[in-house]
Amino acid sequence: MDLSHEAARRRRTIGYLLAGAGLLIAAWLGLSSGPARIPLGAVLEELLDRLPLLSVDSGLTERSAAIVWELRVPRVILAGMVGGLLAVAGGAYQGVFRNPLADPFLLGVASGAGLGATVAIVFGGAAGPGVIAPVAFLGGVTAVALAWGFSRTVGGRSGLTLILTGIAVAAFFTAVQTFIQQRSGEQAREVYSWILGSLSTSSWTDVAVLSPYLVVTAAILLAVRRPLDVMAVGDEEAASLGVRPDRIRTLVVIAATLGTAAAVSVSGLIGFVGIVVPHVVRLLTGATYRAILPLALLGGAAFLIVADLIARVALSPGELPIGVVTAFVGAPFFAVVLRSSGRRP
């Protein structure tokens, strides 16, 4: 038993080291790559120069320094925040619903946010991110609130009832969104661009807006890691061990929904992060959520920074929608996970 615990702890330690190193390397590459190529060494020196008690001459021109600090640093930070939120929310959903294929958009967040963004773009005139983001956030939260409320009116207290009502609400919101898009005319391109996800307009304001949601969501989800491990044996067994499944499920749904809605409101709909990253973490460290959730937070940040980097450089000087990149990786991964799950006895 001691050897088993030691092996598990060693795997978690290796996972933290890999996730931390991957995040640092991804951020470093993200700051140096793009249409205006900036040497890796110069980027590192520029970052060190901003630290207290250090004075390092990076040799960057004023224009290059502005590109780093005003364009790339907020974009890399925002990509990390969005990726971390989607991944930790996905891991929490998988734990609380005991479904390895659950993702952050399970209860209608995506369809609600998509409808909100579509309404803002089509009826808001020249609506900018400052208008689209809060309306998309409101739409995502509204969709989940409707799913949650309806599941209670039909007497359902299980996770399955909530999932089914979420699917129904998502279908309705998607239908309304499609109807509006069909009548939107010239705004249709902007709607599709938002739906496919993009971080091209990232700013320090977006970082500031998303930061409180990241802190609150991460704090709540990381605090329920141990109850999620207990709930893996089933609601009745967990209740007999002192865990209140309904309370934990409510807390996770609220926290993960708020975090996901806030993330997609500034980035658009970016799929598969919440499925791919927790599964990779699970392969590295095992099935304990004490490790899955914090490592998903770090791994999701690194994953989306790399995905955004690929989106920037693949068609440079143009950009791919970041949702296309994550789908290119995530769809085959999802198929492999689904196939392997079906083969288990």
Instruction: Give me Rg for the CA atoms of the chain.
Output: 21
pLDDT on residue 87: 96
- Confidence at residue 133, expressed as pLDDT on a 0 to 100 scale: 84
**What's the average pLDDT block by block, 10 residues per block, for the chain (345 residues)?**
69 90 94 85 85 76 88 95 96 87 84 90 69 88 89 69 87 92 77 85 90 95 93 85 87 92 90 91 87 95 96 85 91 76 53
What distances in angstroms separate CA 277 from CA 56, 173, 176, one per listed residue? 36, 27, 31
Which pLDDT value is given to residue 9? 81
Q: What is the pTM of this model?
A: 0.90
Model pLDDT, residue 1: 44
DSSP symbols for 285-306:
H-S-HHHHHHHHHHHHHHHHHH
| 208: its two tokens | 């500031």
Give the model's pLDDT for residue 159.
Answer: 67
CA angle 238, 244, 248 (to 5 degrees): 105
The fold of 2-343 is ABC transporter involved in vitamin B12 uptake, BtuC (1.10.3470)
The pair of three-digit structure tokens given for residue 218, joined into one six-digit string:
């991460």
